[in-house]
């Protein structure tokens, strides 16, 4: 007995039909007034629909359409019309993502994609920047290291500009009652936020931005570009204004530790009045990974920067006290050794400050990891 193929009730969107329609008509279908909206509604319905879209190659059609839209948007007459297409394409791509196997090759096969994403990153739309950075991370995460190594300065400029906007939003927006008071209805309280919830998207954008910066800062050429673009200051400001997310702090400290490997990076770090202070504050408060990165920053800065300037600042913000705590508490041996090295390198300078307990520092420096204090 033949079982008829289930059909969607009249008026209800059918995901399979929409994908077939997109495959058949391509860009023409996407330019129809309601196609992108229909696909977004279907994507929001559940994981099954998003999986079918990925399997059907919807993300490829959207990326090619995105490239076309950004080219048209450069022409003044097409700006208003294509802005809507651009917004909806980025939202839909954010919902369905790019499968790992396709992400590895998309950038290699189409060199216009990075150019298009760069144009979006350097526009004014804050939310579109977040969508674009998440997409960029999705595309670069497992692609050729040559592409990641050679990302343009304009892309970095857009990413740092996005982080600057995030910091500005922290300073500008005060939490309102609805954001701070938990609803009394447990079903409302426990409801998961939408994948397109603005706060969720911005948070994902920040994480993706820092993952890109952490990976790309492995190369000297990129470190130089990032420092010249003011990345050090923006990262410090981001950490000062952050809500205490462990992952955010680990990423910020990781990037700063790499940027401080170059002289200009260290100079920018010391030029910020809160640089050493915020790193000292995070030490022993976040995680072992954060401690390791914080100590790497303090070690590099104290070793290769003007001694008197660094020593005075470290005494002022109680870095010396924190280093002593690292040696005294139960933590990794490598962390203790890094702390000892910093204290030992500047011991003669520490002694000049009456607020420093020289006897304690001397005892800690002479102790072994087996000693119990």
The pLDDT tens digits for 106-133 are 888 888 899 999 999 998 899 999 999 9
Output the furthest CA–CA distance in the chain (Å, rounded): 94
pLDDT value of residue 63: 92
Any idea what DSSP says for residue 260? T
Helix, strand, or coil (residue 198): helix
- In the prediction, which pLDDT does 109 show? 82
CA 259 vs CA 30, 51, 227: distances in Å: 43, 39, 7
**pTM of structure:** 0.87
CA distances from 268 to 42, 157, 279, 314 (A): 48, 17, 14, 16
Q: According to the model, what pLDDT value does residue 31 have?
A: 80
Which tokens sit at 167? 């910091």
Contact 254, 293 (CB under 8 A): yes
Q: What per-residue confidence (pLDDT) applies to 156?
A: 97
301: Cα separation from own chain's centroid: 24
What is residue 319's predicted lDDT score, i.e. its pLDDT?
A: 95
Distance between CA 286 and CA 256 in Å, rounded? 16
Residue numbers of the chain with a pLDDT score lower than 50:
6, 8-12, 174-189, 372-373
Which residues, at least 6 apart from 144, have a Cβ–Cβ distance to it below 8 Å? 107, 108
Q: What pLDDT sits at residue 113?
A: 92
Question: How many Å apart are CA 369 and CA 332, to the nearest integer?
Answer: 10
* Cβ proximity of 134 and 94 under 8 Å: yes
Helix axes 58-73, 47-55, angle to 10 degrees: 80
Place of tokens 């190659």: 57
Smallest CA-to-CA distance from 344 within 331, 328, 362 is with 362
- What the block records as the tokens of 101 is 């196997």
Give the Cβ contact number of residue 100 at 10 Å: 10
């Amino acid at each position: 007995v033949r079982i008829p193929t289930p059909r969607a009730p009249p008026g209800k969107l059918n995901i399979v039909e929409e994908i077939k329609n997109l495959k058949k008509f391509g860009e023409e279908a996407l330019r129809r007034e309601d196609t992108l909206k229909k696909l977004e509604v279907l994507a929001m319905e559940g994981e099954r629909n998003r999986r079918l879209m990925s399997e059907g190659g919807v993300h490829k059609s959207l990326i090619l359409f995105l490239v076309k839209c950004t080219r048209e948007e450069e022409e003044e007459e097409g700006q208003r019309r294509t802005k809507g297409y651009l917004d909806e394409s980025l939202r839909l791509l954010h919902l369905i993502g790019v499968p790992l196997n396709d992400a590895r090759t998309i950038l290699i096969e189409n060199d216009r994609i990075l150019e298009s994403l760069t144009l979006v990153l350097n526009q004014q739309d804050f939310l579109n920047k977040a969508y674009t950075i998440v997409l960029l991370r999705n595309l670069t995460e497992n692609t050729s290291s040559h592409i990641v190594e050679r990302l343009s300065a304009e892309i970095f400029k857009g990413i740092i500009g996005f982080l600057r906007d995030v910091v500005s939003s922290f300073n500008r927006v005060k939490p309102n009652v609805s954001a701070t008071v938990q609803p009394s209805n447990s079903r409302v309280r426990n409801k998961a936020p939408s994948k397109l919830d603005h706060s969720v998207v911005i948070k994902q954008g920040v994480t993706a931005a820092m993952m890109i910066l952490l990976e790309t800062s492995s190369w000297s050429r990129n470190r130089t570009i990032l420092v010249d673009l003011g990345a050090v200051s923006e990262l410090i400001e981001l950490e000062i204004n952050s809500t205490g997310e462990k992952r955010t702090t680990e990423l910020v400290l990781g990037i700063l530790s790499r940027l401080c490997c170059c002289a200009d990076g260290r100079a920018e770090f010391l030029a910020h009045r809160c640089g050493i202070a915020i790193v000292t504050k995070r030490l022993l408060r976040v995680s072992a990974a954060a401690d390791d990165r914080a100590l790497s920053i303090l070690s590099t800065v104290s070793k290769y920067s003007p001694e008197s300037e660094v020593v005075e600042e470290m005494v002022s913000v109680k870095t010396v006290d924190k280093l002593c705590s690292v040696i005294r508490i139960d933590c990794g041996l490598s962390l203790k050794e890094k702390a000892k090295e910093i204290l030992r390198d500047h011991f003669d300078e520490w002694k000049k400050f009456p607020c420093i307990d020289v006897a304690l520092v001397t005892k800690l420096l002479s102790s072994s990891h087996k000693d119990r204090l």
